[in-house]
Structure 1
Amino acid sequence: MSSLLRRQILRKTGGMDIPLVGFAPAERWNNPLFEPWVPEAFRPASLVPGTKSVIVIGFPVSLPIVDTAPSIWYHELYHVVNETLDACAYRLATFLTEKGYPSVWVPRDGYGSITVLKENPAAFFSHRHAAFCAGLGTFGENNMLLTPQYGPRVRFASILTSAEIPGDPVLEESLCIRCGRCVSACPVSAVKSGGYPAHLTDKHACACRSEELRDRYLSPCGCCIKVCPVGNDRQQYNRNDMRMYDDHNPLSEPYRRVRDHVRSYGSR
């Protein structure tokens, strides 16, 4: 029955054009996969007692738009992807509940606002860890979840369900190549060399940067995810040559023109 339900879920998500779907048993959170690990209060079965499985869905943020970040274009894309994620996760949770498996959706964010995040730099549930547990990717130096398909250019939402669904294997080999591009690209030095979990991102510095950009209608920042060389989306958009981010290289000139044009509009 559990395998049948998994197939039904995949048909449902396919009908909603969700490109990334992963499954993880809730008990996977009880066996730390590295240190530091997710505190008990943040685990699925603590949030909703009776949770047996977590379904993680993901949508990409389009690389050519991210390449203009921070910009009004990326600002609008970010909000559209977030709203789409929440709507799809809500529909999937409702679908499962109506089939007799009580389920709830966890929104893509859980911290209220950037101002709140500065004071308490965490959400009540980590979709990145959920995506990791569901076999969708591995952590990179910028503490983001890197996926084979899109690198870190993905947004996630999760569904906590009472259904027991076969889980996907956790990826064992890191996708991060430790190139350090995200470290160098961070405008506020929030990303530390060495990567997660050894070195955490300076969330306060990152939040302050986001707050400044928000007031100019340019949040989020996006600098560390656009320069990551990981992801098949680079082949899809023919953006494999990382010299495109070197402003001193002639190859970067057409991309700089687009970036400068977009940044000239829609912000203070």
Structure 2
Amino acid sequence: MIQFIEDEGYEAVAIPNLNGGEAINPVNGNFRRNWSIKTAEDKPYPDVLVHFRIAAFCAGLGEIGWSKIFLTPEFGPRQRFVLLMTDAELEPDPLYEGKICDRCKLCVKNCAGHAISKDESVKVTIAGRVVEWGKFNPMACEKGLQGGTDKKLNPFIEEYPRRYGYGRAIEGAAGCMRACMVHLEQRKVLKNKFHNPFRTSEPWKIDRKINYELTDEIIRHYEKNQQIEDAMEYMNYSQKDNFGTAKKEKINPLID
């Protein structure tokens, strides 16, 4: 698409939906002073993160649900967006006029991190339309992604005080994505439909009544394969050195 637009004599650039080196911290919303330099006084900082969901709303693709997840009539919460910015004059699509989110608040009920408020909301006016979603706590979402504090959902809650800042979505999207998808499917409001139900059994939980014993046989197996490491060394390393980043001036808020 970019090549096509450029072949027509216009500029175009794609912006992926990634949290990179933007001047606005995507976790807490703080402005990072001296993070970037404006090219001119009347220009914005070059790496301010674009609000993808508001952009998708302006493009007429759907609406923002109570969970702050963007919902489309085709797929509900199951999509990601990429922005394409251009100086070409394009005919805009109208805003989406339908209603997908019915404020069931199942996203609130099923969020392991309790990151979505049930009653408090955020409202913005876009193109004369008031858009509202539940007040969202990104730091609580980060903890929920790690499994939260519910022992029925988090198998590692008592083992490690800290975890890596990525790749451990133990209970990620339990409310805002999965519970929402199940509800929308039951209401039969999505155009894209599965032959079989999205959820065929109860959500996964840990039965803490069962004693998961680490037997001598298991230990011998790991010793034989030289896969034994000292747990305290790992915990001290993660606490003091923050996985090798302790000496760096800037700490990733998603890890620390």
1:204 maps onto 2:142 in alignment: no
Q: 1:110 aligns with which of 19, 22, 43?
A: 19
Looking at structure 2, the residues matched to 213 and 226 of structure 1 have their Cα atoms a distance apart, in angstroms, of 23
- Measure how far apart 1:236 and its partner are: 1.8
Which of structure 1's runs of 4+ aligned residues deviate more than 3 A? 110-113, 116-123, 208-216
Separation (CA, whole Å) in 2 of partners of 1:136 and 1:214: 34
Task: Specify the alignment match of 1:222 in structure 2.
Answer: 173
Preserved CA contact (<8 Å) 1:190 1:205: yes
Counterpart residue number, 2:253: none
Higher helix share: 1
Separation in 1, partners of 2:76, 2:110: 16
The letter of the residue matching 2:108 is: V
Gaps of 5+ in 2: 32-47, 123-131, 147-161, 206-256
Q: Distance in 2 between matches of 1:119 and 1:201?
A: 11
Whether 1:93 aligns to 2:51 is no
Q: Which residue of 2 aligns with 1:82?
A: none
What is residue 125 of structure 1 aligned with on the other side? 50
Partner of 1:238: 196
The total of aligned residue pairs comes to 154
- Which structure is higher in RCO with an 8 Å CA cutoff and minimum separation 6? 1
Alpha-carbon distance in structure 2 between the residues aligned to 1:239 and 1:214: 33
TM-score, normalised to structure 2's length? 0.51
Q: Which runs of 5+ in 1 are unaligned?
A: 1-91, 245-250, 258-268
Structure 1 residues 173 and 121 mapped into 2: Cα distance closer, same or farther (>3 Å)?
Answer: farther
Instruction: Tell me which residue corresponds to 2:98.
Output: 173
CA 1:136–1:252 in 2, change beyond 3 Å: closer, same or farther? same
Please report how far the alpha carbon of residue 207 of structure 1 lies from its aligned counterpart in structure 2 after TM superposition: 2.8
Q: Distance in 1 between matches of 2:80 and 2:71?
A: 11
User: 2:79 matched to which residue of 1?
Assistant: 154
1:252 paired residue number: 201
Hey, what's the Cα distance between the residues in 1 that align with 2:67 and 2:8? 39
1:95 Cα offset (Å): 2.7
Q: Deviation of residue 232 (structure 1)?
A: 2.7
Deviation at 1:137, TM superposition (A): 0.6
CA RMSD of aligned residues (A): 3.1
CA shift, 1:200, in A, is 2.1
Paired AA for residue 222 in structure 1? A
> 1:106·1:157 contact (CA, 8 Å) conserved in 2?
yes
Q: Structure 1 residues 143, 109: CA separation in 2 closer, same or farther (over 3 Å shift)?
A: same
Q: Deviations over 1:174-200 (max 9, x none)?
A: 310111111111001101225652532
Write the deviation string for residues 94-134 of structure 1: whole angstroms up to 9, x where unpaired: 33123211011111123459xx6444479710111111111
